[in-house]
Amino acid sequence: MADPKDSVLASRAFPWIGSQFIKSGCDSRNPQLGQLGTQLFLLANSTSAVTSTSSASLSADLHDVVRLLEKACSLSGSWRSQRNDRSTLEMIASRNTLSKEDDERLQFEVDKSLKVFSQTNLAINALTQLIQRCELRQDISSHSVVLDEGTLRPTPSVLMAGEGYKTSGRVAPVPRTLLDPPRALSKWTPKFWLAQVERINRMLHPLSMRDHDAHPVRIAVFDTGYSLDSSYLDMYTHEEKRLSGHWVDWVENSRTPVDVDGHGTAMTSLLMKMTQKAEIFTVRVIKRRQDLETSQVVVAKAILHAATTLNVDIISLSLGFPNEDEIIRDAISEAIRIKKGNLLFFAAAANDGSNRHEMFPASMESVISVRATNSAGGFVDEFDPPPVDDEGRLYGTLGHDIPGHAVDETKPCSGCSAATPIMAGIAALLLQYVQHRLSDRSASSENIRKQIRTKRGMMQIFKAIAVNRGNQRHYVAPFEFFERDDEIRLAIIRVAIANLRTQVVRK
């Protein structure tokens, strides 16, 4: 039987050590450290396979790995003796009991040790042997710092009722038990889908309260405007404050929000429901949807205004043109240049299925094209256009039968136009998380904060968290990502951004 102490250390300490190995591997471009971190995640989630076996060799293998990692993360003797001479792994396993000062010192000491660790190959071999003995996976990746789908799984953690908890500046995962549908819901309905997003927002709330200096994510919604008489504001009266002073009318220069069509109200309400801490600017570029075909000049001016005067991070366009427009194309390119690449555009792919090709500006290389799925992640052929080529990835999210967000508020909302603010909202949640969790001034954190605001960076994150539905289609939802342990979430982000150096990201 395995030593119970070794198993406890593996489940509690290995995930954090794995993330440190990956971070060091990315910073120093050492693929072996990245590979070691990957395999630590595999092992940390599978200690039950060791504790449930009577094999003495498995017990010995695990003990060897524990000793190797203790050596890799060795602390200075004088400081450790002041902490009751606990081993490094014991201190890591009980980080939630450390003071902020001790936790920062622990991270510093471990980072310093990893940089001079000379037995990386030995540790990798020991881990590989143990993992293969346990038959955890038959396809262990040897690729340097690539964490493929299935490698990073939720680590054992204490499940707490509520919306997550904060310990020493770290945010706990949304417990999986809270994300399992109740018995009354045999499947993920759109209503239940959106309810889980609300839980994620509440989980992230402690981060925003702790980091008062961080600027909120700023999003502009280009559409038909917004009505203050909407049922959404009737239900959530406090949300009206978020729209105060964030109204721009390029149609009639109205000083107060107005929407005679209703489409803009529906899209803005969806975005507000997706991200509860973002600053949302409602930009009226058309009076009615049928006015879109003559709106190119207004849309172009509004894009440049949003990039400069409003200084937004994201622009959501639930609209599209059958053909490329030079004025809008140039405005998008200029806006991205002005923002030095740190501007995300989301646009609806189309709404006519295979009867119409991908619309403009969703067809632009610098714009993230959004397709519609149902609440279970299945792509909706009724709305989604065919692929532009045979190799590009297609990304979609919830955009079918969304209750109470249609122009007629008594009917459900569907289409790529509805999926667009939802995808923009997912991006905003990821930006918010990275902005608060990687707020230090290290070169690595600054690079991640910058890259995730670019199209290439955000697409890498989507690629890491999306579910491959086949036929080039990838379903994007935030739930599994935010269910994971905090250290694993950070590792996913770090590895995805590190891959920008080695991969050509296709649209």
Q: Which residues are catalytic?
A: 223, 263, 417
Distance CA 284, CA 268 (A): 11
Pick the closest to residue 208 from 199, 219, 216 (CA basis).
216
CA distances from 29 to 15, 421, 441, 496 (A): 20, 36, 20, 14
Distance CA 91, CA 360 (A): 55
Pick the closest to residue 249 from 260, 234, 233 (CA basis).
260
Distance CA 232, CA 361 (A): 29
Angle (nearest 5°) at CA 20 between 18 and 25: 95
Tell me whether the omega of the peptide bond preceding residue 403 falls within 30 degrees of 0, making it cis: no
Report residue 6 as tokens: 């070794």
Locate the DSSP E strands across 399-506. 467-470, 473-475
The DSSP string of 108-162 is HHHHHHHHT---HHHHHHHHHHHHHHHT--S----STT---TTTS-PPP----SS
